[in-house]
């Protein structure tokens, strides 16, 4: 009954009554309600996929054709709507009912009849959603820093304190008093290496009379191998580091520790950010 199959070369398709009825009563309402707001009817087209035209369905989006007419069950559209593709679940805000998914499966099996394809009009001009490079250029991260005047000396000894105190004063908030040596030492340890100081290190620091003792402490902790372990973790979180794959096929990644150690060592070597990004792109 797949009357419309020859149409793929561009000739208009003809449909059986059964196909037309199925489209009107079943497939069209499901697509319209669940998919079209992101895939055709509104100005923003998500994933480069238009589902309001037959051409759009067959061509697909960034990942290629949404339907596989030779092997309907393997269609990308079905994998996503039935949540077999865990990274891309459609619609993104919640799974449809099994009945609705079955409708889409049958629609593909019937050869995606789309009798009124020409009548579906998007609201206004279609704009493909993607990065706006012109707008991005004005982001603060891409602009040269402006030289700003440092607030008055009366606001604090260190220039950074002055900026903070200026805002606090404006908000009528006052600072706590200075932290004592012991409190400061503990904070610095946690911030830089993620571990508390040993009792002997506390004693040593408290006994130290040198005016450079704080600077020396910072230098020592920055040189510690634990520094990379503590701060590399933030990078590993951002790249979603894991030692297994996750989800139900939760296989191990037995070699992934090499990447973990590379990140830790990079932090310990004080590798600049641009070099780090370059190495990631090169190693992809
Ligand atoms: C709220 C917006 C939204 C809705 C509603 C939605 N999608 Fe998507 N869709 C997306 C986004 C965003 C992508 C891009 C990939 C991603 O982020 O997962 C996408 C990608 C896809 C893709 C892959 C396209 C490609 O080749 O790159 C398919 C197939 C798809 N959607 C099918 C559907 C179907 C079928 C429905 C309705 C049942 C639907 N989507 C509803 C937002 C949506």
- The pLDDT assigned to 7 comes to 40
Please state, as a whole number, how many other Cβ atoms lie within 10 Å of the Cβ of residue 189: 22
pLDDT in tens, 215-273: 999 999 999 999 999 999 999 999 999 998 877 778 888 999 999 999 999 999 999 99
- The pLDDT assigned to 2 comes to 39
pLDDT in tens, 24-82: 899 999 998 999 889 887 777 888 898 988 888 988 988 889 999 999 999 999 999 99
Please, how many CA atoms are within 13 Å of residue 226, restricted to the half-sphere of its CB?
A: 12
Residue 18 makes CB contacts below 8 A (sequence gap 6+) with 1
- The pLDDT assigned to 210 comes to 96
181-to-92, 184, 202 alpha-carbon distances in Å: 52, 5, 9
Decide: 158 and 169 in contact? Cβ < 8 Å: no
Which residue is closest in CA terms to ligand 1's atom 25? 61
Secondary structure element (H or E) that encloses residue 44, with its range = strand 44-45
The rounded Å distance from CA 226 to ligand 1 centre is 43
pTM of this prediction? 0.50
Please, how many CA atoms are within 13 Å of residue 131, restricted to the half-sphere of its CB?
A: 5
Inform me whether the pLDDT recorded for 168 exceeds 70: yes
Top pLDDT among 276 and 251 is at 276
Mutate to test the pocket of ligand 1, among 50, 92, 99, 114 (most ligand atoms within 8 A of CB): 92
Read off the tokens for 183. 């409190």
CB of 48 closer than 6 A to ligand 1? yes
Decide: 64 and 76 in contact? Cβ < 8 Å: yes
pLDDT in tens, 188-209: 999 999 999 999 999 999 999 9
Decide: 274 and 280 in contact? Cβ < 8 Å: no
pLDDT in tens, 54-70: 888 988 988 889 999 99
CB of 66 closer than 6 A to ligand 1? yes
- The pLDDT assigned to 1 comes to 34
d(CA 128, CA 104): 25
Q: Phi-psi bin for 210: left (phi > 0), alpha (psi -120 to 50), beta?
A: beta
Residue 184 makes CB contacts below 8 A (sequence gap 6+) with 214
274-to-23, 213, 279 alpha-carbon distances in Å: 53, 32, 9
Mutate to test the pocket of ligand 1, among 66, 90, 114 (most ligand atoms within 8 A of CB): 90
d(CA 110, CA 150): 71
d(CA 96, CA 37): 15
Could you tell me the pLDDT band of residue 11, with boundaries at 50, 70 and 90?
very low
Inform me whether the pLDDT recorded for 127 exceeds 60: no
Decide: 196 and 186 in contact? Cβ < 8 Å: yes
CB of 65 closer than 6 A to ligand 1? no
Query: Kindly report the CA angle at 50 between 12 and 48, in degrees rounded to 5?
Result: 135
d(CA 251, CA 36): 36
Please state, as a whole number, how many other Cβ atoms lie within 10 Å of the Cβ of residue 191: 12
């Amino acid at each position: 009954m797949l009357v419309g199959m020859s149409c793929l070369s561009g000739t208009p398709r003809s449909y059986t009554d059964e196909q037309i009825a199925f489209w009107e009563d079943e497939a069209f309402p499901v697509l319209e309600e669940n998919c079209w707001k992101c895939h055709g009817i509104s100005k923003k087209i998500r994933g480069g996929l238009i589902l309001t035209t037959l051409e759009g369905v067959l061509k697909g989006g960034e990942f290629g054709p949404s339907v596989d007419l030779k092997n309907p069950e393997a269609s990308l559209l079905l994998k996503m709507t039935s949540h077999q593709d865990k990274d891309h679940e459609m619609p993104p805000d919640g799974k449809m009912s099994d009945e609705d998914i079955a409708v889409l499966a049958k629609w593909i099996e019937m050869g995606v009849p789309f009798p009124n394809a020409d009548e579906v009009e998007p609201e206004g001009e279609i704009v493909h959603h993607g990065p706006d490079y012109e707008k991005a250029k004005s982001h603060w991260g891409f602009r040269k820093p402006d030289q700003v005047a440092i607030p008055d000396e009366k606001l604090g000894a260190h220039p950074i304190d002055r900026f903070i105190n200026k805002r606090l004063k404006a908000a009528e908030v006052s600072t706590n008093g200075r932290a004592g040596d012991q409190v400061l030492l503990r904070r610095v340890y946690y911030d830089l290496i993620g571990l508390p100081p040993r009792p002997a290190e506390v004693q040593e620091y408290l006994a130290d009379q040198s005016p450079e003792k704080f600077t020396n402490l910072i230098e020592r902790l920055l040189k510690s191998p634990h520094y990379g372990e503590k701060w590399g973790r933030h990078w590993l979180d951002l790249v979603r580091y894991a030692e297994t794959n996750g989800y139900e096929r939760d296989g191990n990644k037995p070699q992934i520790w090499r990447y973990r150690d590379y990140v830790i060592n990079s932090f310990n070597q004080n590798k600049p950010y641009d070099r780090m990004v370059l190495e990631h792109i090169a190693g992809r």
